[in-house]
Amino acid sequence: MNILEEIVVRKRTEVAGAKRNTPVSELEASPFFKREIISLKYAIQQRHSPAIIAEFKRRSPSKGEINSRVKPAQIAKDYQNAGATAMSVLTDTVSFGGATHDLIMARQQVSIPLLRKDFMIDPYQIIEAKAIGADAILLIAACLSPNQLKELAQTAQQHGLDVLMEVHSQAELESHLNKYVSIVGVNNRNLKTFDVSIDTSLKLAELIPDEFVKISESGLKSAKEIVALHKVGYQGFLIGETFMKSENPGKSCQSFLQSIDQLLNPKATL
């Protein structure tokens, strides 16, 4: 059993416990449940320049602790003020040190779209995502069968949430892509070795149909990488560790966006 399989087994137990503690009726009574969703897909499409989805995470399985001192409410405000198009919030506790409360705190502070990033395996988690203020959810192809992913994506769409489907290979893209997905994200990290290469995104760029918004995820560290990937069709870029490992993630995000702008508009900086 690999790490991802172990996580899915644990997640099933967690979801079963959540269902016992917080029934769906209670989730649907949340003040966030009836709010107007802010479309992540639309927010990305409206930008002519690269759209940054800035991520909040305290740690990861591959890097360990990244930044345990920062607070989600403050980081959310800082990311929005820096110019991030959207924010991703890790809500998995064991692997990433996150919590649903982190997304709630972010939602109370910002008006940009929020992506709930977790290991989504059950329709309950989609209702929960809406109840805590998410606008979009992540579905990882490697965690789900094609039918499971399609059913979850359809449920998300029925609740007004955008679906970001994450793939790591051409095989996953071809087997799992369906009409209920809004956004396709290519993860540059090999889940078996944890090695990272943007070649993964470069290889899959032309294989993603144009009707889907394309984003690149993981291991993005430089403005040059963003510009190169933007040229081959990627519109959004999910960046977490590059920002979170700094003392001030919001300032790091702002500087990163300025570097991208300088590369795209060199004459404007003279």
The set of catalytic residues is 55, 57, 117, 166, 187, 217-218
Separation between Cα atoms, residue 149 and residue 156, nearest integer Å: 10
Q: Are 134 and 116 in contact (CB under 8 A)?
A: yes
Structure-token pair, residue 172:
């996953």
**CA 152/CA 120 separation, integer angstroms:** 8
DSSP string, 140-184: EGGGS-HHHHHHHHHHHHHTT-EEEEEESSHHHHHHH--TT--EE
Q: How far is CA 85 from CA 29, 49, 119, in A?
A: 29, 11, 23
Q: Measure the CA–CA gap between 117 and 101, rounded to whole angstroms.
A: 13
Cβ contacts of residue 195 below 8 Å, gap of 6+? 189
End-to-end CA distance of the chain: 55
- Listed residue (103, 99, 77) closest to 88, CA to CA: 103
Quote the CA–CA distance of 4 and 62 in Å, as a whole number.
12
Q: What is the DSSP string of 185-227?
A: EEE-B-TTT--B-THHHHHHGGGS-TTSEEEEES----HHHHH
